[in-house]
Amino acid sequence: MSVGRETRLSAWIERFAAHFAEEGIPLIGGRILGYLLVCQPTERTAAELSQELEASSGSISTNLKFLVNAGLVTKRTRRGRQAAQYRINEKRWVDLIQRKLDALVSVRELTEAGMRLMSGDPERAMRLRAVDDLYTWLATELPAVWERRPASSR
Amino acid sequence: MSVGRETRLSAWIERFAAHFAEEGIPLIGGRILGYLLVCQPTERTAAELSQELEASSGSISTNLKFLVNAGLVTKRTRRGRQAAQYRINEKRWVDLIQRKLDALVSVRELTEAGMRLMSGDPERAMRLRAVDDLYTWLATELPAVWERRPASSR
DNA sequence: TCGTGCCTTCAGTGCCGACCGAAGTGTCGG
DNA sequence: CCGACACTTCGGTCGGCACTGAAGGCACGA
């Protein structure tokens, strides 16, 4: 007996969420992202997400707020008593990656500050310089690469 | 009255450790790294680290084991009753960065798997494809950049 | 103005990881 | 064989974060 597509999709969502959980995004937040990337139709209310992902309304609310704030999810309100609809904002995924790269490159500011404290003692600075050189290289290369990213992602 | 270099260095070590704490490295582990990058002489025993960083012997032991295992710190044993000496292994710092980049690129495997589950429904796959395209681009560009890294870091 | 549904807020709970320090292990010199 | 020292291991504690669910607030229709 074969496994249905939706079942395999839930498993995929779980793996997806697990990956981002390792990067500090709450499990439920990751599930929301994964779900909104593949659900049909593309928009869901908070109540639907709560039921579909088996999470409390509070958790859904908190995580949606976080994701909307990060720009990854868009909230669409409707007049009347109708619940707001949420959908993925995949255009903003670049921001997520950019933050990652920025965090990496920003170490250079630390190593530079350390190097300044070491000025006048090149012998002692040797170890830090090796690390500083690495981040300096990263800080010059990565932004250049980033600028060449395909137009479709802007 | 001016602040001594060693005092400013402790403050720097603390900032250094704080940064890597955000990336999941325990505070004490980060302090050890920062300290071993700038201390003079370059080698320290576990007992010295414990005193200098005001951390318990247990924490120092656990974190040193972790760092030695990661290749970032080298343990040098000495015969007799003499304590082992630890020093930074700055050559291996590239590995740390590579793991970071790998983690970023590895998301592509997830998005690819998701795309496969979506095959036959291009309409529904549109959102995921935007994200998949991004990671596919990253997965082709970043390794190429990495290969061009300066010889001094190999 | 009242009722109704949706959402957010918040106090409470549980869990996990970092840290401590004492006990244990191993190794060496005497 | 014993004492001494360095290091590791491990039970216990603490703090912080994710999550829950109920209570509260808000917006609308009647």
- CATH number of the domain bearing residue A14: 1.10.10.10
* Mean confidence (pLDDT) of chain A: 93
Mean pLDDT computed over B84-103:
95
Same domain, A56 and A128: no
Q: Which of A59, A88, A117 is the last residue of a domain?
A: A88
How far is the C-alpha of A63 from the C-alpha of A47, rounded, in Å? 13
Residue B24 CB closer than 7 angstroms to strand D? no
CA of A108: how far to CAs of A113, A120, B88, in Å? 8, 20, 18
Orientation of helix A107-117 relative to helix A93-105, angle to 10°: 10
Higher per-residue confidence, A77 vs B103: B103
Cβ of A19 under 8 Å from any chain B Cβ? yes
Res. B151 pLDDT band, cuts 50 70 90: low
In the predicted model, is pLDDT for residue B18 greater than 80? yes
Mean pLDDT computed over B105-133:
96
Interatomic separation, CA of residue B58 and C1' of nucleotide C25, rounded (Å): 14
Same domain, B29 and B82: yes
pLDDT of the residue at B150: 80
Interatomic separation, CA of residue A19 and C1' of nucleotide D26, rounded (Å): 37
Q: What percent of chain A has pLDDT over 90?
A: 85
Interatomic separation, CA of residue B149 and C1' of nucleotide C28, rounded (Å): 47
Same domain, A83 and A51: yes
A81: nt with nearest C1' to CA: D28
In the predicted model, is pLDDT for residue B154 greater than 70? no
Same domain, B80 and B10: yes
Q: What percent of chain A has pLDDT over 70?
A: 97
How far is the C-alpha of A19 from the C-alpha of B115, rounded, in Å? 17
How far is the C-alpha of B154 from the C-alpha of A90, rounded, in Å? 37
How far is the C-alpha of B53 from the C-alpha of B67, rounded, in Å? 16
CA of A67: how far to CAs of A15, A123, B51, B71, in Å? 19, 48, 43, 36
Q: What is the pLDDT of residues A57-114, one digit of tens each?
A: 999 999 999 999 999 999 998 877 788 999 999 999 999 999 999 999 999 999 999 9
Same domain, B110 and B80: no
Q: What percent of chain B has pLDDT over 90?
A: 86
Q: How many structural domains comprise chain B?
A: 2
Q: Which of A70, A88, A106 is the last residue of a domain?
A: A88
* Strand C footprint nucleotides (protein C-beta < 7 Å): 4-11, 17-23, 27-29
Domain of B78 in residue numbering reads as 5-88
Same domain, B54 and B127: no
Cβ of A97 under 8 Å from any chain B Cβ? yes
CA of B143: how far to CAs of A46, B139, B146, in Å? 40, 7, 5
Determine if the peptide bond prior to A122 is cis (ω within 30°).
Answer: no
**Alpha-carbon distance B44 to nearest alpha carbon in chain A (angstroms):** 15
Other beta carbons within 10 Å of B57: 12
Q: Does B130 sit within 8 Å of A90, measured CB to CB?
A: yes
pLDDT of the residue at A79: 75
pLDDT of the residue at B2: 72
Same domain, A80 and A11: yes
Same domain, B65 and B101: no
Mean pLDDT computed over A22-41:
95
Can you say whether the dihedral through the CA atoms of B124, B128, B134, B136 is positive or negative? negative
Strand partners, B74: B87
Same domain, A10 and A28: yes
Same domain, A66 and A13: yes
Q: Which of B32, B56, B88 is the last residue of a domain?
A: B88
Which of B105-140 are b and which e, b meaning 16 or more Cβ less than 10 Å from the residue's Cβ? bebbebbebbbebbeeeeebbebbbbbbbbbbbbbe
Strand partners, A74: A87
Least confident of A3-12, B11-20, B98-107: A3-12
How far is the C-alpha of A35 from the C-alpha of B17, rounded, in Å? 36
Res. A31 pLDDT band, cuts 50 70 90: very high
Mean pLDDT computed over A141-145:
94
Q: Mutation test of the interface with chain A: which of B2, B22, B90, B111, choosing the one with the most A Cβ atoms within 10 A?
A: B90
Res. A154 pLDDT band, cuts 50 70 90: low
In the predicted model, is pLDDT for residue A151 greater than 70? no
Whether residue B70 contacts residue B48, with contact meaning beta carbons closer than 8 Å, is answered with no
Count of all residues that appear for chain B in the document:
154
Same domain, A19 and A83: yes
Same domain, B13 and B73: yes
Res. B59 pLDDT band, cuts 50 70 90: very high
Pinpoint the alpha helices (H) of B40-121. Answer: 46-53, 57-70, 93-105, 107-117
In the predicted model, is pLDDT for residue B133 greater than 90? yes
